[in-house]
Structure 1
Amino acid sequence: MMMNWGTKLVIGMGLFMAFIITLVVFMMRSDSDDLVDKDYYQKGIEYDKEYARKNQVQQDNAEPEIYVGDSLKIVFKKPATGSVRFLHPSDKKNDRTLNMETSKNNVFVLPLNETSKGHWKLILEWKSEGKEYLFEKNILIN
């Protein structure tokens, strides 16, 4: 049985229309829209606060000095209290947050003997003299 080109064209168009209708039905039944977070407004407000705290570090020239060896040593310009967050890019289970308070000479020391080796994202959030700061840095623990 031979088909002429007109029949093949109609069959091709029918298959294409069936494909498009299938995609439309699939998209309409999908509950989630991955491009928009459910709490996007709150995240936007938080980002503004985060940006202001990062900017405050630049304005006050308050960037701490960070030394990594057997322990993590953070030297602040002024006395500080806050938190240190360790984020491990390959394993979220290793992430941890610790409270910190500087000593008399504005230094915070944290032993790293229980911290796994590798790349970490260090996030420092602290208050000093009534101002809030946020500083992020990638570090390597050997």
Structure 2
Amino acid sequence: MNWGTKIVISFVCFVGLLVTMVYVSVSTDFYLVADNYYEQELDYESQIQRMKNVNSLAEKPNFKLVRNEGKAELRFPISVMKAMEEGKISFFRSANASLDKEFDLVFDETGLQTFDMKNLASGAWKVKIEWKSKGTEYYQELNIVI
């Protein structure tokens, strides 16, 4: 094999590598944390205020995983629950937006709401709890690993 053939083979391998890299980069899925991240960033000051509102509560909501039963429990203080106008909880998966789940806050008479965690994929999740009570908005964020 002469030097001209080696150059052609090297060039063909290089072009093949470039084509493969372009194909892989185009076919890779990517997920934005939020579709409207710019608007959310502009609203971040009010988000900080909503978090401060939670910290100012005498009794705070309590979220816990019950791993052996495959569920999660969210317990709100009765006083906060009775004054609540609306609320939602989001299970946010930054690795795959299609796995995100959102539920309205609907408690029993003791302030407890349970969530089935068996259908959620293993890994890191953010739990975002938002509610409005007496005209004041609240926001709490927790990191969990399932």
Unaligned 5+ segments in structure 1 are: 1-37
Aligned partners of 1:89, 1:97: CA distance in 2, in Å? 14
Question: Computing the radius of gyration over CA atoms, which structure comes out larger, 1 or 2?
Answer: 1
**RMSD, aligned α-carbons:** 2.2
Aligned partners of 2:112, 2:59: CA distance in 1, in Å? 13
Unaligned 5+ segments in structure 2 are: 1-35
When the two structures are superposed, what TM-score results if normalisation uses the length of structure 2? 0.61
Displacement after TM superposition at 1:49 (Å): 1.6
Aligned partners of 2:37, 2:64: CA distance in 1, in Å? 37
Displacement after TM superposition at 1:62 (Å): 4.3
Preserved contact between residue 63 and residue 135 of structure 1 (Cα < 8 Å)? no
Q: Deviations over 1:51-86 (max 9, x none)?
A: 111110011234321111211101112214411111
Paired residues in the alignment total 103
> Is 2:120 aligned against 1:115?
yes
Percent identity reads 22
When the two structures are superposed, what TM-score results if normalisation uses the length of structure 1? 0.63
Displacement after TM superposition at 1:140 (Å): 1.4
Aligned partners of 1:61, 1:91: CA distance in 2, in Å? 36
Aligned CA distance change for structure 1 residues 62 and 56 (closer, same or farther; 3 Å): farther
Aligned CA distance change for structure 1 residues 39 and 128 (closer, same or farther; 3 Å): closer
Q: Which amino acid aligns with 2:76?
A: F
Aligned CA distance change for structure 1 residues 98 and 140 (closer, same or farther; 3 Å): same
Displacement after TM superposition at 1:96 (Å): 2.2
Aligned partners of 1:103, 1:128: CA distance in 2, in Å? 17
